[in-house]
Amino acid sequence: MLELQGVSKAFGGHRAVDGLSLSIERGRITGLIGPNGAGKTTLFNLIAGAMKPTEGRILLDGTRIDGLRADRIFKAGLARTFQIPRPFPEMTVLDNVLLAPAGQLGESVLRAWLTPGAVRAQERRLRDRAMACLDFVGLARLAQDPARVLSGGQRKLLELARVLVAEPSVILFDEPGAGVAPALLDTIVEKIAALNRDGVTILIIEHNMDLVMGLCDPVVVMAQGRLLIQGRPQAVQSDPRVIEAYLGGVAA
């Protein structure tokens, strides 16, 4: 579903991602782990279009996406969440979700004037879809509240709803468990698993090893910008190279 071929990203003389080749299988939950500084977030930025690779190719379902703008990649069906969600605090929870869908007719003054019926019909459909996404993540009761009232975990659920309203085929999760209370973490894990059962391909950066080992298969390990190992969770966890990377100071 997602293929990286010799991807590198250099910042001056430092190669944050260094000739990395990787295939993400369709319909799986793949975990991406590694020590701090291993290049994981840079890799996410390259895949999602926030950065352009210095070298290499990135393919989504067989089509090259490296070098495309982030909005083009989003429209192609690849979405991401962020470690620290930043919703628009004074907008309602529902309106935050309604920002995401592409191609909204009401964004064009001409269309809104010439075809108001079509604009209203689309707005109703999108509102229904957004409410369904909020219901899925358990935030429907807060739909009309300002996003500033949400806890950190609830903001991550809001970000998930905002991603889902666009109906992506691939989602990149950047540390969904970071700073989340245990009860909400269980909810987030449950929602990720449910999305995967519905056919969404998922790639997760996460430092919570219990989450990774219980949810992801396969697990990919990066160190110093390179692919260290990829395999089943139990095999990866006990591999001497992984232990050395975390405990032996391999990461930059």
Q: Quick check: 105 pLDDT over 60? A: no
- DSSP 3-state of 152: helix
φ, ψ dihedrals at 73, nearest 5°: -65, -40
On whether residue 195 sits in a domain, the answer given is yes
Q: CB–CB of 164/77 below 8 Å? A: no
For residue 70, the one-letter residue type is A
Q: Is residue 188 part of a domain?
A: yes
Is residue 252 domain-resident?
no
Domain count, the chain: 1
Q: Phi, psi (5° rounding) for residue 20?
A: -85, 130
User: Range of 179's domain?
Assistant: 2-247
Q: Write out the DSSP string of 207-245.
A: S-HHHHHHH-BSEEEEETTEEEEEE-HHHHHH-HHHHHH
Amino acid identity of residue 158, one-letter, is L
Q: Binning pLDDT at 50, 70 and 90, where does residue 67 land?
A: confident
The position carrying tokens 């291993």 is: 38
Helices 182-197 & 116-137 angle (0-180, nearest 10): 120
**Does residue 173 fall inside a structural domain?**
yes
Q: Is residue 205 part of a domain?
A: yes
pLDDT tens per residue, range 9-56: 999 989 999 999 999 999 999 999 999 889 999 999 999 999 999 999
Residue 146: helix, strand or coil by DSSP? strand
Q: What residues are paired with 217 via a beta bridge? A: 29
Q: Compute the average pLDDT of residues 95-111.
A: 72
pLDDT confidence band for 178 (50 / 70 / 90)? confident
| Torsion angle defined by CA atoms of residues 51, 31, 239 and 251, in that order, rounded to the nearest 10 degrees | 30
Pairing of strands 63-64, 14-24: unpaired
CATH code at position 231: 3.40.50.300
Q: Average pLDDT of the chain?
A: 90
Q: Give 238's pLDDT tier (boundaries 50, 70, 90).
A: confident
38 lies in a domain? yes
Among 7, 68, 10, 1, CA closest to 252: 10
Give a yes or no: residue 176 inside a domain. yes
Does pTM top 0.85 for this prediction?
A: yes
